[in-house]
Amino acid sequence: MLSAAAALLAALLATPHLSARPGVPVRTAAPGLTHLTIEPGRDALLYVPTGTAPGAKLPFILLLHGATMRPESQLALFQGMAESKGIALLAVKSLDYTWDAIRGDYGPDLTFIDRALKEVFASVRVDPARVAVEGFSDGATYALGLALSNGDLFSSAMVFSAGFLPRFQQQGKPRLFISHGTADRILPIDQTGRPTVAVLRAAGYRIEYREFDGPHRIPPDIAAAAVDWLLASPAAR
């Protein structure tokens, strides 16, 4: 049997808590796309808008891909908007074909994300009031778990076609943008999107919910609406 101390340590390790926080950078990231080597054989992709003014505080989005996908898929969708609207992006890769907590518990993916965020916050001046996490499919499920458990870091989450509401430890109440296709056959909306939104609304979360007539994907207009929602002034939220 585990000792009480070992059991407590195991519980803490399984909690989806991130320690990284925006602060004053100790160096300056190059504009454009940079491959960050966080651990051997596993990079993260940082994008900094090329027109960023020195010292400017940037909104920031952590991008989480769907199962079997790569970080480039999410980066391709949001990079143009990030450039035109002045947003820093970080796209990371799951260790396996999907994120750890989708099939079990939080572990190496959570650790990797925390390390990648610390690397970004050390080189990019991020606006702490506009830090968001985004995900598609399994990545959206994981993004929900991270956002709900780290509301003191993520002010917002952009959740596209999530599968379920993962285990989380509530910390704050971030704003949520949730979308789902009515013709989604991979994660049917009546079994996933709608029940999840109902539960979160009942718990008091502020949700911008968009259904669209389509399959399991992120339509460009929905992605654009999510970015505009993210950048809206507090008075318009």
Cα(17)–Cα(6) distance, integer angstroms: 18
Exposure of 183 in the CB half-sphere (CA atoms within 13 A): 7
- Fold (topology level) of 27-236: Rossmann fold (3.40.50)
Tell me what the pLDDT averaged over the chain comes to: 91
Quick one: pLDDT at residue 9? 42
Confidence band (pLDDT; 50, 70, 90) for 15? confident
Q: Where are the domains of the chain?
A: 27-236
- The mean pLDDT of 72-86, rounded to a whole number, is 96
The answer to whether the CB of 120 falls within 8 A of the CB of 114 is no
Does residue 12 carry a pLDDT above 90? no
68 burial class (0-12, 13-18, 19+ CB within 10 angstroms)?
Answer: exposed
Backbone φ and ψ of 121, nearest 5°: -65, -20
Q: Which three-class secondary structure state does DSSP give residue 132?
A: strand
- β-strands 42-48, 32-39 pairing: antiparallel
Inter-residue long-range contacts of 129-132, CB under 8 Å, 24+ positions, other chains counted? 129/155, 130/59, 130/60, 130/155, 130/156, 130/230, 130/231, 131/22, 131/59, 131/60, 131/62, 131/155, 131/156, 132/59, 132/60, 132/61, 132/62, 132/156, 132/157, 132/158, 132/230
Three-state SS string over 148-166 comes to HHCCCCCCEEEEECCCCCC
**Residues whose CB falls within 8 Å of the CB of residue 7, separated by 6 or more in sequence, listed in order:** none
Does residue 13 carry a pLDDT above 50? no
What is the token pair recorded at 47? 């994008």
State percent of the chain over pLDDT 70: 92
The residue type found at 194 is R
Confidence band (pLDDT; 50, 70, 90) for 233? low
Q: If phi over 0 gives left and psi between -120 and 50 gives alpha, with beta otherwise, what is residue 186?
A: alpha
Cα(143)–Cα(65) distance, integer angstroms: 10
Quick one: pLDDT at residue 42? 81
Does residue 2 carry a pLDDT above 60? no
The answer to whether the CB of 223 falls within 8 A of the CB of 81 is yes
The reply to whether the predicted model has a pTM over 0.75 is yes
Q: What tens digit of pLDDT does each residue of 92-117 get?
A: 999 999 999 998 889 999 999 999 99
Does residue 195 carry a pLDDT above 90? yes
Q: What is the number of other CB atoms lying within 10 angstroms of the CB of residue 59?
A: 21
The answer to whether the CB of 218 falls within 8 A of the CB of 161 is yes
Quick one: pLDDT at residue 136? 98
Does residue 234 carry a pLDDT above 80? no
Does residue 10 carry a pLDDT above 60? no
Quick one: pLDDT at residue 236? 41
Q: What tens digit of pLDDT does each residue of 200-224 get?
A: 999 999 999 999 999 999 999 999 9
